Amino acid sequence: MRLVMIGTGFIAKQFAEDMKYAPNCQLHGVVSRTIESANQFCADYAPSAKGFTDLDAAMEGADAVYIASPHPLHKETAERAILAGKAVLCEKPLTMNLKDSEELYAFAKKHGVLLMEAMWTAFFPAIIKLQELIKDGKIGDIRNAQADFQFYLEFDANHRLFNPELGGGALLDLGVYPLVVSQFVYGNQYPEKVTSELIHGASDVDEQGSFTFTYTDGSFYQGAFGLQAMGSNEARIYGSQGSIRIPQNFWHPDKLEITYANGDKEILNFEHPGIGLHYELVSFAETWEKGLIENPIMTHSHSLQRARLVEEIFSKAKK
């Protein structure tokens, strides 16, 4: 699969580094605001690729695009690629709100084009195993779970995470990770109740926050995220017969630690090359190769449920 990368920022560089572990795809072109930036990116990560400033020109001869530009640009960019018949792998969040995401998935279906949100955590072998363990009742009935993603970032009004015009804020960048763990644990169950807190900073973006999901069986899930403190950056799932810990950093896990009711412990190791971004890329390329328009792991409904939960967290937070 010949892939065009849109954007040359931090995540794009990490993605390009891990592409060497994805044998079913290659970097065809790189799109940036300046040709110097695009060419330098190619020189650093894929000398055989070509730099562009024009998306339409970059898509000629390509099979797919990977969108790593700022959040507010995702929808328009994805629509252009879909109209050109190119499969789209788009960084999370897919769009800035639920309505736009629903419209974008409908647009992709209408044109028969593969569209997948790049929630890379879902593709790790450790996460796939985690879901199997929960489904098989390895730790009994799930009663509660929690995860946090927090680090300290000094305020800089020009930084993307503090810039509201670029979709800044902790929830859209960090909070979606503890949120997606709730989907791994509870599947397609939607919480009966959502409560949340958001703390806004000098540029009025949310700099830290938390949420609690309560389910119909009385179990609950808690997530925390932020740019103001160093967190444990772990996930823990508690069941009636044991617990599972995903150590730091849970969003690209390499092990699961299981503790059983009798005190026995088990560690499952899942070492991986790079930081693991290739897992989602390999799956995306396989989906494209099969002629499908929806990835079986990161389904449209999985993505839309998360977008709906993000909106609820925003709306339920006290102003």
> Nearest-5° angle of CA 10, CA 11, CA 13?
70
What angle in degrees, to the nearest 10, is found between the helix axes of 278-289 and 10-18? Answer: 70
pTM of the predicted model as reported, rounded to 2 decimal places: 0.96
- Helix ranges (H only) for the chain are 10-18, 35-45, 55-59, 74-83, 98-110, 125-135, 170, 176-186, 278-289, 300-316
Beta bridge partners of 96: none
Give 297-309 as a DSSP string. Answer: SS-HHHHHHHHHH
pLDDT for the residue 63: 98
Of 63, 109, 54, 106, nearest in space to 84 by CA? 63
- pLDDT tens-place values along the chain, 319 residues long: 999 999 999 999 999 999 999 999 999 999 999 999 999 999 999 999 999 999 999 999 999 999 999 999 999 999 999 999 999 999 999 999 999 999 999 999 999 999 999 999 999 999 999 999 999 999 999 999 999 999 999 999 999 999 999 999 999 999 999 999 999 999 999 999 999 999 999 999 999 999 999 999 999 999 999 999 999 999 999 999 999 999 999 999 999 999 999 999 999 999 999 999 999 999 999 999 999 999 999 999 999 999 999 999 999 996 5
**Alpha-carbon dihedral of residues 98, 13, 4, 71, nearest 10 degrees?**
20
What's the distance, CA 30 to chain centroid?
Answer: 21
Cβ atoms within 10 Å, residue 215:
18
pLDDT for the residue 319: 55
Residues in Cβ contact with 289 at an 8 Å cutoff, skipping those fewer than 6 apart: 1, 24
